[in-house]
Amino acid sequence: MDNTSLPIPPRNPEVVDLAELLIRNGRGIEGAGTPTITITGVEALGGGRPHHIIPDRIETGTFIVAAAITGGALKSPIAIPATCWP
């Protein structure tokens, strides 16, 4: 199979999460979250292993700002703080 290298790819948490989903389903991906991602082609992806998509960090940030502006309180049991700030 052919390899594709992506120099300077986005390192967003969503890109890393997508890579993890694809890896779990048989795609050959190395370097997600690093300066170079290498993707190895496969004939077909495996079948539907469970994967929980990470919460949207932009939406989380919007709620944080809204709570700060209004003087309100905010509790989000599913937010992942490490994905909200660099």
Domain check: are 39 and 58 in the same one? no
Number of domains in the chain: 2
Instruction: Identify the band that residue 86 occupies on the pLDDT scale cut at 50, 70 and 90.
Output: low
Domain check: are 15 and 42 in the same one? yes
Nearest Cα to Cα of residue 58 among 77, 40, 79: 79
HSE-up of 57 (CA within 13 Å, CB side)? 13
Per-residue burial over 13-31, b = 16 or more CB atoms within 10 Å of its CB, e = otherwise: beebbbbebbeeeebebee
Q: Calculate the alpha carbon distances from 61 to 8, 27, 78, 80 in Å.
A: 25, 31, 13, 11
Return the percentage of the chain with pLDDT > 70, whole number: 97
pLDDT in tens, 27-40: 889 999 899 999 99
Token pair of 14 as six digits = 């969503």
Is pLDDT larger for residue 46 or for residue 68? Answer: 68
Determine the structural domain holding residue 18 and report its residue range: 1-46
pLDDT in tens, 47-77: 777 888 889 888 888 998 999 999 999 888 8
